[in-house]
């Protein structure tokens, strides 16, 4: 059971988590929590002078939840954390920036998990905080570390199984891990979902539950489409595409460990725990309308390389992608013509260096400020007319890159960022908005 930042935002939210966990006690849950909402961002921009309020907030919240020894213990832990963060920030320099950042930011999850365990204990649910850094063992890629699966699975089993067998609820912070040498790492923003999935896979659980502030995966981002509806069921592939192309409700890596062990993933609303939310599993519910959801992501950069050398040549694409590999940059969408390749980048930090290298291969053109829109539905590839309907709905908006066919469940294209809200709203209206009043879809 993973609870996101808003699910542990204040004292009332912690009480609510304790209630939800208590209800599931017979099923031997493992609890994973994010940092209290806003804490990760605050720690990321923290300076030695500015950290006080972050820690005061934890103590103030604990005072509303705990008494006696439990409160004293937690307050001591907060004091220690504050001193450690202060000391770490003082050692920060350009060469250790990312490892210090991981060490600092990890206290968000360390404190929220300690508080959750204490609250559970005071509410009569026997719980124990387990340091996630003993369980999630990663490579050394600070700020976006990848777990070493064999080691991680073995550690999870040995750290958690005994507690579960004794009826104790283990409580871990998500997002954080450590290298084999013991340095603190993090799994990338939003990574607590991934922690939960790794633990679920390692323990071969019946269900991985992601508790958040919306009722499941919705037909579109609710911040853009306020009347977006909960999707009852999604296949693993549908959920993976949505997560990858911007549906923040699930971290993109969450689905992989679930697929490999055929574990269903349920996304629920911690404010409305009685609602069933979305169930992600091997099979999807067939949807006669085919399109189930629309995801989007902004801040995308398009790189276009044009070269006559590509015509009839082999090895060109390999040379091209080697450049991105060298600069450790992920490519999202790719399209090719006879003499040019266009691709989209989500994270363009190394763009200048990439462009320099690409110039060896051909003429390079960059378009910034683009957005990817991805419409998702199992069976989409075999359904005639979808592309026509999509593009006639947004016929006055320029589409700069289209990709379909690589996966049978998605249809992806790129437009200008300024028009993304309008495009998503119109597409939702066209394909999904009439699904109201429990209409069968
Ligand atoms: P948590 O802190 O619980 O991990 P996140 O903020 O990471 O929560 O993810 C939940 C948010 O994802 C929602 O509040 C919503 O604004 C956003 N979101 C974007 N796209 C979707 C979607 N298709 N379905 C549900 N939520 C979405
Ligand atoms: N607290 C981390 C973040 O804000 C991880 C998470 O919430 O999943 O990115
Ligand atoms: Mg999240």
* DSSP string across 236-258: HHHHHHHHHTT-TTS-TTSHHHH
Is 209's C-beta closer than 6 angstroms to any atom of ligand 1?
A: no
* Distance separating alpha carbons of residues 269 and 7, to the nearest angstrom: 9
* Distance separating alpha carbons of residues 400 and 372, to the nearest angstrom: 10
| Ligand 2: nearest atom to the Cα of 195 | 8
Counting Cα atoms < 13 Å in the Cβ hemisphere of 108 gives 33
Query: For position 380, what pLDDT does the model report?
Result: 83
* Distance separating alpha carbons of residues 368 and 241, to the nearest angstrom: 23
Q: Are 32 and 172 spatial neighbours (Cβ–Cβ below 8 Å)?
A: yes
Cα torsion angle, 413, 416, 421, 425, sign: negative
Task: Report the interhelical angle of 68-91 vs 97-122 (nearest 10°).
Answer: 180
| Ligand 1: nearest atom to the Cα of 37 | 2
Instruction: Please list the ranges in the chain whose pLDDT falls under 70.
Output: 284-289, 405, 434-441
* Distance separating alpha carbons of residues 92 and 100, to the nearest angstrom: 6
Q: From atom 9 of ligand 1, which residue's Cα is the shortest distance away?
A: 249
Is 29's C-beta closer than 6 angstroms to any atom of ligand 1?
A: no
Residue 192 alpha carbon to ligand 3 centre in Å: 7
Query: For position 286, what pLDDT does the model report?
Result: 63
| Ligand 2: nearest atom to the Cα of 41 | 4
Q: Are 294 and 375 spatial neighbours (Cβ–Cβ below 8 Å)?
A: yes
| Ligand 1: nearest atom to the Cα of 267 | 25
Is 190's C-beta closer than 6 angstroms to any atom of ligand 2?
A: yes
Query: For position 134, what pLDDT does the model report?
Result: 98
Per-chain mean pLDDT for the chain: 94
* Distance separating alpha carbons of residues 281 and 439, to the nearest angstrom: 22
Query: For position 188, what pLDDT does the model report?
Result: 96
Taking residue 139's Cβ as centre, other Cβ atoms within 10 Å add up to 14
Query: For position 288, what pLDDT does the model report?
Result: 61
Ligand that lies nearest to the alpha carbon of residue 196, given by its number in the listed order: 2
Q: Are 396 and 408 spatial neighbours (Cβ–Cβ below 8 Å)?
A: no
Q: Which residue is it, tokens 């350009």? A: 94
Q: Are 173 and 109 spatial neighbours (Cβ–Cβ below 8 Å)?
A: yes
Is 213's C-beta closer than 6 angstroms to any atom of ligand 1?
A: yes
* Distance separating alpha carbons of residues 230 and 214, to the nearest angstrom: 9
DSSP string, 379-426: T-TTSTTHHHHHHHHTTTS-EEEEEESSSTTEEEEEEEGGGHHHHHHH
Instruction: Tell me the per-residue pLDDT of 223-246, one tens digit each, with 9 for 90 and over.
Output: 999 999 999 999 999 999 999 999
Ligand that lies nearest to the alpha carbon of residue 249, given by its number in the listed order: 1
Residue 212 alpha carbon to ligand 3 centre in Å: 8
């Amino acid at each position: 059971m993973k609870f996101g930042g808003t699910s542990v935002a204040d004292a009332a939210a912690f009480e609510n988590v304790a209630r939800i966990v208590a209800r599931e006690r017979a099923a031997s849950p493992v609890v994973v929590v994010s940092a209290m909402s806003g804490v990760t961002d605050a720690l990321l921009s923290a300076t030695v002078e500015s950290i006080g309020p972050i820690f005061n907030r934890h103590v103030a919240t604990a005072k509303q939840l705990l008494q006696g020894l439990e409160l004293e213990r937690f307050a001591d832990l907060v004091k220690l954390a504050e001193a450690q963060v202060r000391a770490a920030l003082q050692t920060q320099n350009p060469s250790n920036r990312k490892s210090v950042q991981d060490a600092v930011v990890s206290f968000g999850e360390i404190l929220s998990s300690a508080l959750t365990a204490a609250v559970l204990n005071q509410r009569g649910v026997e719980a124990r905080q387990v340091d996630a850094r003993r369980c999630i063992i990663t490579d050394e890629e600070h700020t976006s570390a990848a777990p070493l699966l064999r080691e991680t699975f073995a550690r999870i089993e040995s750290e958690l199984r005994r507690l579960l067998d004794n009826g104790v609820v283990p409580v871990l912070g998500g997002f954080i891990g450590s290298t084999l040498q013991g340095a603190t790492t993090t799994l990338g923003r939003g990574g607590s979902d991934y922690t939960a999935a790794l633990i679920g896979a390692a323990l071969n659980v019946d269900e991985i539950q992601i508790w958040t502030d919306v009722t499941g995966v919705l037909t579109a981002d609710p911040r853009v489409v306020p009347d977006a509806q909960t999707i009852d069921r999604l296949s693993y592939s549908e959920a993976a595409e949505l997560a990858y192309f911007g549906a923040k409700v699930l971290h993109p890596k969450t689905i992989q460990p679930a697929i490999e062990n055929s574990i269903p993933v349920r996304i629920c609303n911690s404010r409305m725990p009685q609602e069933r939310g979305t169930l992600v599993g091997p099979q999807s519910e067939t949807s006669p309308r085919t399109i189930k959801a629309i995801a989007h992501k902004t801040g995308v950069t398009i790189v276009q390389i044009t070269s006559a050398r590509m015509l009839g040549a082999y090895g060109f694409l390999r040379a091209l992608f080697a450049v991105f590999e060298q600069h450790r940059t992920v490519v999202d969408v790719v399209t090719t013509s006879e003499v040019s390749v266009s691709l989209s980048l989500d994270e363009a930090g190394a763009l200048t260096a990439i462009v320099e290298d690409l110039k060896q291969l051909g003429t390079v053109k960059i378009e910034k400020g683009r957005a990817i829109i991805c419409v998702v539905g199992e069976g989409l590839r075999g359904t005639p007319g979808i592309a026509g309907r999509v593009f006639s709905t947004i016929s006055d908006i320029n589409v700069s890159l289209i990709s379909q066919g690589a996966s049978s469940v998605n249809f992806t294209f790129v437009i200008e960022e300024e028009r993304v809200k309008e495009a998503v709203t119109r597409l939702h209206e066209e394909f999904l908005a009439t699904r109201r009043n429990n209409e069968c879809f």
